[in-house]
Structures are given as structure tokens and as C-alpha cells.
Amino acid sequence: MSEVRVLVGTRKGAFILTSDGKRQRWDIRGPLFAGWEIYHLKGSPADPHRLYASQSSGWFGQQIQRSTDGGETWEPVGNTFVYDGAAGTHQWYDGTPRPWEFKRVWHLEPSLTEPDTVYAGVEDAALFRSTDGGQTWQELPALRGVKGHLWQPGAGGMCLHTIVLDPSHPERIFIAISAAGVFRTDDAGKTWRPMNRGLKSPYELPDPDAEVGHCVHRLATHQARPDVLFMQKHWDVMRSDDAGESWHEVSGNLPTDFGFPIVVHAHEPDTIYVVPITSDSEHYPPEGQLRVYRSRTGGHAWEALTQGLPQRDCYVNVLRDAMAVDTLEACGVYFGTTGGQVYASADAGDSWAPIVRDLPPVVSVEVQVLP
Amino acid sequence: MIRVVLPAHLRTLAHVDGEVTLDVAGEVTQRAVLDALEARYPVLRGTIRDQVTHRRRAFVRFFACEEDWSHEPPDAPLPDAVATGAEPLLIVGAMAGG
């Protein structure tokens, strides 16, 4: 029977949760890297025992950890992230120029085919790549050439938080930055284009045609249909049917279209999930009810999923990297909260249960299915 | 022989117990000690000072002989007691963050 491994990054360490394919009983291991912030850990699709973790600390900076045995043992690898050439400036919150300065790695995206190749999305926003298993990192600097001098940090910092690799176009990568927007390369990072047409941010960006400056929170796509992308923006849930060339809103009947994560069902490309959050100043679910919303129509029509989730007095948040799906036949859906719970559904969201409930605030959740 | 006391998180990272002892050639300064420390434990590069500028990280402090040496120039000689190994150089995570 398959084994499921859930990789959880928290504010004070990493945890690895394992279960069999029934996903009812879970073993919990951790904290790994106790006391450090683990923004993200993820396994290689080409070798599920190859894991990468971003370990950081306000005191002691950034480390990258690598495991070759599914998280049993780890070794620190390269932690030198130096911007290519003269770093230049971006805009600070007040609109003044600010030199680019590396702060941390938000997201690690292993290559779909090469276990030694992994991408790192960092703050201040840039994309780095390693082709030697994380030992050395090189920036893909053309990205910051796309009006980088106009990028401005979101409230959480100017982070490159989302990296989507296109399985049908090996040289195509989508990335998203708060608060600059979506960018796409079709030549493995040599050139980039902003892909923000159709995004509306009327209060933050008075120019309705602004190419950059949008506060994109998360992108998701289905491996079998990579030209269709879904986006949770600061406000608005959006969809693109042309690989990001244009976007249209699919928020429909959501109680609020603010939120952070968005994921796509493993087997149904038009089934998507979001967790509505009250507003940008009230980072908790509306009415204190923790509800995942599912659309089976690729947006517009949404249903609340509540069974097993707290429906009163719940004021947690779900961060952008803290939701994932597994690939078992009955698709599993998982998300972690800032209250330290990780909830799982083994029936595509119809019912939920906490698989661990008292961790430090959860920053990221990833899932692996092992044969 | 120079003695260095690391904060707990860096001891864990570098897999060391207790004090670290280092041979430092020439004048014993912050820079010389950190160079020797990072040469022995490459995993500590970037954790105490920036890898490029070599500036001390904001929330790291250096103490020796009950005095704060954090703001001294990196090439200033450390106290004789540190240079002779009578006292350790303490590398401390600052109290910050609440």
C-alpha cells in the first residue's frame, strides 16, 4: 500500500507526518531543525527521497538542508545567495529606491526531472537555481530586469514565493512575487515577461494597465493542463486559460475573495480549493468559521467544505505555501494553520480531520505519495 | 589556542559540544578568529557575519572578559586574555524578538 509523507514547515522547526494510503493514522516526527524557521521543504518529483529544506533565522541567517533518505538524515548545503552583478534598487514602501538585499529563501522548487536541480525563490525577490544539489546557487538575473526598479514589497516582504514548472514546456517557468506580480520565461530564465494583464488592483495601483506591482499571493495549475492557471491574489481569485497572457476573475460566490493558498485537485483539472480569509487587515476566516471552498467548475461556483473543521471561534490563518494535495485515487487535501493544526481530507475535501494540532505556526505543507 | 563559545543553535548546526578551540596565526582579532572558525566549520559561513560584506549580523553579539566587543572594528586586537586562551570569546544571539 502507498505511503503518504506530509512535510510541514513551521516557525520553529520542521515536522514529517507519515501514514499509509488510508490516511487515518499518522506518525509525527520532529521538530527537525528545532527553533529555526522552516519556510518550506519539498521533495524532488524525480527522486522522492531527495528533500530540500529552507532553514532560516533572524539571528543566524539562511541555511539550505538536503536529505537523500526521505528526511531521516540531513546535511547543510550551500547558503551563498549573491545577486548577479550590481544588485541595483527596488522601491521601498514609501516609493524611495532601496538596494536589493538577500534576506531568506521562501520557496524551494525541485526540478521535475533532475534531482540535483532545484530553484529557490528568495526575498528580496529573485530566482536562484542550483544544478549541483544545492551546493552552489546562481541567480537568473534577467527576471529583475523586468521593471525590477518598480517592484515594491508586500506587507510580508518582497518575496518570490511561487515557482511553477511547466511539464509540457521544459524551459517555461512561472513565478510570482509580492508585490510585483506574475512573470514567465519560455527559455529557462534567459528572458522574462510580466503576465499580469487582467489583474485589477484599483486601490494599490491606480494605473489599470500596470504591468507590474500586483500583489499575487499564489499560483496553481494542473500538470495535465499547464496552460490553465489559477491565482489567489491579494483580493480576487483569478484564472488564465492562455498560460498567463490574460486573467479573468472567478471569485463568484466566495464569502470573501481575499486569501493566500490555492490548489488544484490531482485528477480533476477544474476542481480547485481556496481558504477565504476575511480581509487584508483581518487575517482569519469570516465569522470565525474555518471553511475550505471548492469549485468543481474551475471557478465562479463555489461550495463551502466544513465537515470536521471548526465552525465557531476560529481565528487562524492559512499561509500561501500551507496547502497541498496528494495523488492518491481519492485525492487528499491538506492544509496547515497559523494555530499549529494540520488538517487533512482523504475524500477530496468532503470531510476533514486534524492530523496534528499543536505545532508552532505552520508556514508550509507539501505532500508526497511513495510507492 | 583561542577558545570560542557558540550559541546553542550554531553548536547544533556545526555538530559541536561545548567550546571550540582554534589556532589563530598572527594577531588575534575578531576577523582572524571568525576566519579560523569558518575555515574549520564552513557551515557557519553566513551565520555570524555576512558572507560578502563580512559585517556582523544584526542580532549577533561578541563578548569577551565581560565586555561587549560587538562594535569594535573587526581588525582591532581582542583582549590578551582571549589571545592567550585564558578567557573565551563569546558569540551570543542577541535578546531580540520578544
CATH number at residue A56: 2.130.10.10
Closest-CA distance, B65 to chain A, in angstroms, reads: 23
**Residue A215 maps to a domain:** yes
**Residue A8 maps to a domain:** no
Model's pTM, two decimal places? 0.96
**Residue A53 maps to a domain:** yes
Q: B-contacting residues of A 1-40, CB under 8 Å?
A: 34-36
Residue A297: band (very low, low, confident or very high) from pLDDT cuts 50, 70, 90? very high
| Domains in chain A, number | 1
* pLDDT tens digit sequence for A279-294: 999 999 999 999 999 9
* pLDDT tens digit sequence for B4-61: 999 999 999 999 999 999 999 899 999 999 999 999 999 999 999 999 899 999 999 9
Q: B-contacting residues of A 82-141, CB under 8 Å?
A: 82
Dihedral (CA of A111, A113, A115, A117) sign: negative
Dihedral (CA of A94, A100, A101, A103) sign: positive
**Residue A21 maps to a domain:** no
Task: Name the residue facing B93 among A59, A76, A80 (closest C-beta).
Answer: A59
* pLDDT tens digit sequence for A112-129: 999 999 999 999 999 999
Give me the pLDDT at residue A205, please. 80
**Residue A190 maps to a domain:** yes
- Over residues A83-88, the mean pLDDT reads 91
Closest-CA distance, A116 to chain B, in angstroms, reads: 20
* pLDDT tens digit sequence for A151-170: 999 888 999 999 999 999 99
A80 interfacial to chain B (CB closer than 8 Å): yes
Q: Looking at this predicted complex, what is its ipTM? A: 0.92
CATH topology of domain B2-93: Ubiquitin-like (UB roll) (3.10.20)
User: Is residue A202 over pLDDT 90?
Assistant: no
Give the structural domain span for A162. 36-319
Q: Find, in chain A, the residue whose alpha carbon is nearest to that of B47.
A: A60
- Does residue A29 contact residue A16 with C-beta atoms inside 8 Å? yes
Q: Find, in chain B, the residue whose alpha carbon is nearest to that of A55.
A: B13
Give how far Cα A97 sits from Cα of A12, A103, A142, A145, A152, Å: 33, 17, 19, 15, 9
Contact flag B96-A58 (C-beta cutoff 8 Å): yes
Instruction: State the Cα–Cα distance between residues A259 and A6, nearest whole angstrom.
Output: 22
* Strand (E) or helix (H) holding A101: none
In terms of Cβ atoms closer than 10 Å to its own Cβ (0-12, 13-18, 19+), residue A352 is buried
Closest-CA distance, A89 to chain B, in angstroms, reads: 18
Q: Which residues of B touch A80 (CB under 8 A)?
A: 45-46, 51
